[in-house]
Amino acid sequence: MLIVETSGRHRYYRLADERVADAIEALSVLAPQPPITSLRAATRASALRRGRTCYDHLAGRLGVAVTESLLARGVLERTDGRRGTVRGPEDPLANAMPHHPYRLGPAAGRVLTELGVDVGAITAGDPRRPLLRFCVDWSEQRHHLAGGLGAALLVRMQQAGWLRRLPTRRAVELTPTGRAILADVLALST
């Protein structure tokens, strides 16, 4: 389940693969949530719901809003007849979806290029990693973008300074520049 890398007297642990991460995420749904007993804990929980990383991609309200905007702009299309990022009845709760009802849309090349994301480079990368993958967000119970495209988008947003990490573990927020760029390119209103 874990891989250990030794560097001098230090040992670094990471999950063995994505299947282990999916299993832990699925089991976390069963774990009782600790009660919020302080303002600090409430602030941390709120920040995580607003925007966070989910392994290597964007999640929370922000991740779902970006995915919604990608759908609205024609970067992504749903193939199951549903609209938006609504979770289907067969979709697992708070977990990666084994099959997803999305494909790249007609505006994918143009819009992703505007954002500085190279789809060709992503698909030329790890052949085992799908370009499109989706998770059901645990706080929103809606789909957010994962896979190679979701990871590339998160990396681009961080490198461009559109997103900054908060001191709370995985929490992130848009910078004023990021908010302006995403409003312009994706018509995202956050």
pLDDT tens digits for 25-36?
Answer: 778 777 777 777
Give residue 127's pLDDT band: very low, low, confident or very high (50, 70, 90): confident
- Collect all residues with Cβ–Cβ distance below 8 Å to 172 and sequence separation of at least 6: 51, 52, 53, 58, 62, 163, 164, 165, 166
pTM metric for this prediction: 0.78
Is residue 95 scored above 90 in pLDDT?
A: no
* pLDDT at residue 17, as a whole number: 86
Closest C-alpha among 63, 122, 130 to residue 102: 130
Of the candidates 60, 43, 62, 54, the residue with the CA atom closest to the CA atom of residue 190: 62
Residue 135, pLDDT > 80, answer: yes
The DSSP annotation for 10-41 comes to EEEEEESSHHHHHHHHHHHTTSPPPPP-SHHH
Q: How much of the chain, in percent, has pLDDT values that exceed 70?
A: 99
Statement: residue 182 has pLDDT above 90: yes
Mean pLDDT of 69-95: 89
**φ and ψ at residue 18, rounded to 5 degrees:** -65, -30
Task: Count other C-beta atoms under 10 Å from residue 39's C-beta.
Answer: 8
The partner residues of 78 in beta bridges, in order of sequence, read 102
pLDDT per residue as tens digits for the range 51-67: 999 989 999 999 999 99
DSSP state of 70: H
CA distance 75 to 128: 22
> What percent of the chain lies above the pLDDT cut of 90?
54
Write out the two tokens for 188: 């995202």
